[in-house]
């Protein structure tokens, strides 16, 4: 039997954004208090999101608009994780074809990568993040490059994107189209895969046993956090409800109804 975990042993936090700190443009109850108490107690944390469409600057502005103050160094998106991963495995001279939005383009530019035109035969990587301007031509270009041998990389596998009252197609739906067309499965960098967790933990500087992943999705935040050897905390605030939790094989170490309940429990445990 693994040892029971306690909130007191947590020295650092990875925190999902959408569904934990806010939904849409509404802050979650307790989100501000949670972040300001981590600041106050000087506990290291990173805000870890699979969303590749926004830049860290845009996230800082969005959070500020919700009354949550963080600096850019506290944000790690799946787009940044892809750029950092490519920085580790190849040189900036490598040509990359991108399907995605500003967050992904900006992250790759920041690591000095040159982005390729579709007819460039030297393309070594096809990187795919959510693209709400997706066209058939982009799918065609990407699938031809993958068939020619370019490495197929996905920012995140999220099949859906929760909007206020419905589910829109997420990046996983775009990856599925390319996978169907090429027979090639993408290398996923975002949650639940290990690449983004390894990057996050090394930036945070805490050990895995003392680091908690807080999220609202069982199959990404909690499954990924468990695989990475982290303490996992589910908030039943958005995607996952009690009924789904009871039916799932994925078990978080701790479950709270909201960021507010988690904040109160942390206050008690650090008192």
Residues that bind Mg ion (CB under 5 A): 16, 18-19, 216
Beta carbon nearer to Mg ion, 179 or 261: 261
Report angle CA 262, 34, 39 to the nearest 5 degrees. Answer: 135
Decide if 257 is catalytic. Answer: no
User: In degrees, to the nearest 5, what angle opens at C-alpha 202 toward C-alphas 199 and 203?
Assistant: 85
Question: Which DSSP symbol is given to 219?
Answer: I
Nearer to Mg ion, 150 or 190 (CB): 190
Residue 139 vs 173, nearer CB to Mg ion: 173
The catalytically annotated residue of 16, 131, 158, 221 is 16
* Residues 6+ away with beta carbon under 8 Å from 166: none
Q: Annotated catalytic, 16?
A: yes
Residue closest to Mg ion, measured at CB: 19
- Minimum CB separation of residue 40 from Mg ion in Å reads 24
Residue 110: count of CB within 10 angstroms of its CB: 15
CB of 108 to Mg ion, least distance (A): 24
Indicate the Cα dihedral angle 87, 93, 99, 100, nearest 10°: 50
For Mg ion, which is the closer residue by CB, 18 or 260?
18
Integer Cα distance of 225 and 74 in angstroms: 18
End-to-end CA distance of the chain: 29
- How far, in Å, CA of 252 to CA of 233, rounded? 6
CB 232 → Mg ion: shortest distance, Å?
13
Nearer to Mg ion, 16 or 141 (CB): 16
Residue 76 bridge partners (DSSP): 48
Taking CA atoms, 10 is separated from 44, 56, 92, 233, 258, in Å, by 10, 25, 37, 11, 18
Nearest distance in Å: CB 20, Mg ion: 6
Report, in Å, the least distance between residue 225 CB and Mg ion. Answer: 12
Report the catalytic residues.
16, 18
């Amino acid at each position: 039997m693994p040892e029971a975990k306690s909130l007191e042993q947590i020295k650092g936090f990875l925190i999902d954004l959408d569904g934990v700190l806010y939904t849409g443009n509404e802050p979650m109850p307790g989100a501000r208090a949670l972040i300001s108490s981590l600041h106050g107690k000087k506990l290291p944390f990173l805000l870890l999101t699979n969303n590749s469409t926004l830049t860290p600057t845009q996230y800082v502005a969005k959070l500020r608009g919700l009354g949550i103050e963080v600096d850019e160094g506290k944000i790690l998106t799946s787009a940044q994780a892809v750029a950092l991963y490519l920085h580790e495995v190849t040189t900036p001279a490598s040509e990359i074809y991108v399907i995605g939005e500003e967050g992904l383009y900006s992250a790759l530019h920041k690591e000095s990568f040159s982005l390729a035109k579709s007819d460039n035969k030297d393309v070594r990587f096809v990187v795919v993040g959510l693209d709400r301007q997706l066209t058939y031509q982009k799918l065609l270009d990407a699938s031809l490059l993958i068939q020619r041998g370019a490495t197929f990389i996905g920012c995140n596998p999220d099949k859906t994107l929760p909007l206020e009252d419905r589910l829109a197609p997420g990046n996983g739906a775009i990856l599925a189209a390319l996978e169907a067309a090429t027979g090639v499965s993408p290398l996923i960098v975002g949650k639940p895969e290990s690449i983004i967790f390894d990057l996050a933990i090394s930036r945070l500087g805490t050990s895995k046993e003392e680091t908690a992943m807080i999220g609202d999705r069982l199959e990404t935040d909690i499954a990924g956090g468990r695989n990475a050897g982290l303490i996992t905390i589910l908030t039943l605030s958005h995607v996952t409800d009690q009924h789904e939790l009871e039916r799932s094989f994925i078990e978080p170490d701790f479950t709270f109804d909201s960021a507010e309940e988690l904040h109160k429990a942390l206050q008690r445990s650090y008192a």
